[in-house]
Amino acid sequence: MDHDQVVAYIPNLRRYARALTGDSEAADDLVQDTLERAVRKFALWRPGNLRAWLFSIMHNVFINQVKARKVTFDEELDENLAAPVPTATGDDIKDLQRALQQLAPAQREVVLLIALEDLTYNDVAKMLGVPVGTVMSRLSRGRERLRHLLDGEPARAPLKVVQ
Amino acid sequence: MNERRDQEITALLKRAYDPVMAEPVPARLIMRPAPWLPMLRAAALMAMGIGIGLAMAPYVLPTPAAVTVAAPLPMRAARAHAVYVSEVRHPVEVDAKEEKHLVAWLSKRLDTKLRVPVLAEEGFNLLGGRLLPGPEGPVAQFMYQDSAGTRLTLYVTRPATADTPTAFRFAQEEKVAVFYWIDRQCGYAISGEIDRPRLARVANIVYRQLEP
Q: For B149-171, write each residue's pLDDT tens digit.
A: 999 999 999 876 555 666 678 88
Residue B43, pLDDT above cutoff 70: no
Residue B212, pLDDT above cutoff 50: yes
Per-residue pLDDT tens digits for A56-104: 999 999 998 888 776 666 655 544 444 444 444 557 888 898 899 989 9
What residue spans define the domains of chain A?
A: 1-70, 73-156
Domains contained in chain B, CATH given: 27-210 (3.30.200.100)
Q: pTM for this structure?
A: 0.50
- Residue A14 and residue B29: Cβ atoms within 8 Å? yes
| Chain B touched by A146 (CB under 8 Å) | yes
Distance CA A114, CA B6 (A): 12
Quote the mean pLDDT of chain B: 81
What pLDDT shows up at residue B165?
Answer: 65
What pLDDT shows up at residue A129?
Answer: 92
| Chain B touched by A26 (CB under 8 Å) | no
- Residue A151 and residue B2: Cβ atoms within 8 Å? no
Residue A142, pLDDT above cutoff 50: yes
Residues of B in contact with A112 (CB under 8 A): 13
The backbone torsions φ and ψ at residue B151, rounded to the nearest 5 degrees and listed phi first, read -115, 145
Residue A147, pLDDT above cutoff 70: yes
Distance CA B83, CA B153 (A): 11
| Of B148 and A45, more confident | B148
- A142-159 average pLDDT score: 74
Q: A73-156: what fold?
A: Arc Repressor Mutant, subunit A (1.10.10)
List the beta strands (DSSP E) in A24-163: none
Per-residue exposure over A133-146, b if at least 16 CB sit within 10 Å of its own CB, e if not = ebbeebbebbbbbb
CATH ID of A1-70, from 3.40.50.1100, 1.10.3720.10, 1.10.1740.10, 1.10.10.10: 1.10.1740.10
Per-residue pLDDT tens digits for B58-92: 554 444 444 444 568 888 899 999 999 988 888 89
